[in-house]
Structure 1
C-alpha cells in the first residue's frame, strides 16, 4: 500500500513539472514585455513624402491629355511607393499639396518646412518608347515586343532644403513569341510591359535612395514644454520606445555658400542627452514622445534652436 502511495506522489510531482516550467516561462515573458527598451533601436523609420512623379515624355499625350491625371506618372508613383514601403524602413506620407509647395517661387530652405517629412522625393519619367522586332523565315516567325524607360529621382533633405541625391536609370522589358509553320504562341499588344520597364528603372535607384536616407542620422525636434514635460516629435510607428537615449544638439550657424548662393547650416554641437519616458499619438503625423534629460540642459524658451539625433554605434 505504501509503495502504491509513493508511486502516486511521484507521478503527481512529475506531471506538475511542465506546468511549473510554463508558469515560470510566462512570468519571464511578461517581465520582458514590461521592461523598457534600452539603447538604440536600429530600425528608426524616416518619414518620406513623394511630392510628384511627372511624365516628361511625349508618349501617350494626345489632344485631351491631362497632366494632373497622367496614367504613366501614376504608375511610376505607385511602383516607387510600393518598393519603399516594402523595405519597412520608411513611413510614407500622403501630401497632396506638396506639388504646390515645390512650385512656389521661393529659393529659401524654409519652403520645405511644415511638410511633416524628413525627406521629399521628386521623380520623373524622362524617356519612354516601345518597339516591335520581327524575324521571319521559311518555316518560323519570331516577334519581340520591347519597352524602354528612363526614370530620374531627386531626394531632398527637408531640414536643409538641399538635394542630397539625384540620379537617372534606365529599364527594359520584353516579350517574345514564336511560331513554326503557323503553330505556336502569338503575343498581342502587352500594356504591362510599360509597368515592367518603369519598375526595372526605379529598382536601380531605390537602393541608393534607401542608403542616402539611412546613412544620415535620424532626427526629431522639440515641440513644447507643458507642465514641466518636454515633448518631442516622433513615436512608436517610427520605432521609438521607452528607455531609448538620444543626443541633443544645438543648431549650427547658418552661412551663405558663395559658390551656390544657398544658405547652409554648419554642424551643431552637443548640448546633452535625453531619454524617452512616454510615447503617444494616434498616427505618424500626430505622434509625440515625452523625454527627460539625463545629461546637460537647454534653454526651454528657445526650443527651436535644438534638435534630437540618434546615437550612432
Structure 2
C-alpha cells in the first residue's frame, strides 16, 4: 500500500508541473500535394509572363520607441532598414517588378560620379513605409518541479504607394505579424532560452508578408507602357524584352498620347485619352539584362512614325 501511495503522490506532483505545450500537428490539405505543386508551377509561369512595372522603395522608418537612439540618421535605424530590405527582397524574388534603389540613392549617385556613368531611371510608383508598432514580451508559468518561458514579438508595418509625377498617395495598407518561442525544464532538465533576437526578424518578416500581397496586386493595376526606340518603316524597336515579359508573338498597341491640360478643380494635370494608331507583333528580343534589353516588332495594322508622343501599351 505504501508503494501505491508513493506512486500516486508522484503522479499528483507531476500533474502540477508546468510543461511546454505540444506543437500543433501538421495536417495534409484536402488537395493532393502533387496537385498543389502543379498549381504553383502554373502560377509561376503566369507571373513570369506579366509585364513588369518599375517600382522603388523610398523612406522606411521606425516610428516606434524600440531600438531608437538620439541619432536620427535613417541609415542607423536597424528596424526600419531591416523592414525595407525584407520588402525589397520579396519584390525582387517575385520576378514581377523592376525594383530600383532609392533609400541608398546617395551611395548610388556617389558611385556613378566615380564611374562618370549616371543614368538613374524614373519609376511608375514609389513605396513609402514605416514600422508603427513593435514590442516584445516574456511570459511564463512554473510548477512544483518545472517552469516554462515564452518569448513573443509583435510588429505592424504601414505601406503607401505614391504616384511619382504628382505625389498623390493612391494606396495604403497595413500588415501585422507575430513570432514566439517557448522553452521549459522539468526537475532541472530541459532548455533554458536566453534572449532570442531572431524573433524581431521573424515578426517583421511576417508583417511584410501580411501586406505585400495586396500591395503587389495594386502595383500591377498601374498602366504599363514602353517607348519606341526607333521606327524603320514597318519595323519597330521598342524598350523591354523577355526578362520584362515581352516575348515573340505578343501583340501590342501603339498610342499617341493625349493632350495634357491642368485642371482648375483639382490642380492636377490631366491627360486626355490617348489615340490608338497601330498594332504591332513582337518578332524577337535583344539585350542581356532588364536594363538594356529591347524587342523588335512588325506593324500589323496602322502606321508608326518618329513621333515622341507615341508609346506602346498592352
TM-score scaled by structure 2?
0.70
- Determine the structure 1 residue equivalent to 2:35: none
Structure 1, unaligned runs of 5 or more? 1-40, 101-113
Out of 76, 83, 94, the position equivalent to 2:83 is 76
Q: CA deviation at 1:184?
A: 2.4
Alignment of 1:83-162 (within 5 A): 83-95=90-102, 115-158=121-164, 162=168
- Determine the structure 2 residue equivalent to 1:67: 74
- Determine the structure 1 residue equivalent to 2:313: 309
1:96–1:75 CA distance, 2 compared to 1 (3 A): closer
1:167–1:58 CA distance, 2 compared to 1 (3 A): same
Q: Secondary structure at the match of 2:205?
A: helix
Partner Cα separation in structure 1 for residue 246 and residue 229 of structure 2 = 16
Q: CA deviation at 1:224?
A: 4.3
Partner Cα separation in structure 2 for residue 177 and residue 238 of structure 1 = 48
1:220–1:67 CA distance, 2 compared to 1 (3 A): same
Q: Secondary structure at the match of 1:205?
A: helix
Q: Conserved in 2, the CA contact under 8 Å of 1:116 and 1:285?
A: no
- Determine the structure 2 residue equivalent to 1:214: 220
Q: CA deviation at 1:285?
A: 2.0
Over aligned residues, Cα RMSD in angstroms?
3.0
Q: CA deviation at 1:299?
A: 4.7
Q: Conserved in 1, the CA contact under 8 Å of 2:75 and 2:81?
A: no
Most deviating of 163-172 and 224-233 = 224-233
Q: CA deviation at 1:188?
A: 0.9
The yes-or-no answer on 1:47 pairing with 2:33 is: no
Partner Cα separation in structure 1 for residue 177 and residue 290 of structure 2 = 34
TM-score scaled by structure 1?
0.70
Cα deviation, 1:160-186, whole Å, max 9, x if unaligned, reads: 654332111221111122233333222
Cα deviation, 1:252-287, whole Å, max 9, x if unaligned, reads: 343445665333434423222122244323432222
Structure 2, unaligned runs of 5 or more? 1-47, 108-119
1:90–1:280 CA distance, 2 compared to 1 (3 A): same
Q: Conserved in 2, the CA contact under 8 Å of 1:51 and 1:99?
A: no
Q: CA deviation at 1:64?
A: 4.8
Partner Cα separation in structure 2 for residue 258 and residue 144 of structure 1 = 59
- Determine the structure 2 residue equivalent to 1:36: none
1:140–1:265 CA distance, 2 compared to 1 (3 A): farther
The yes-or-no answer on 1:238 pairing with 2:244 is: yes
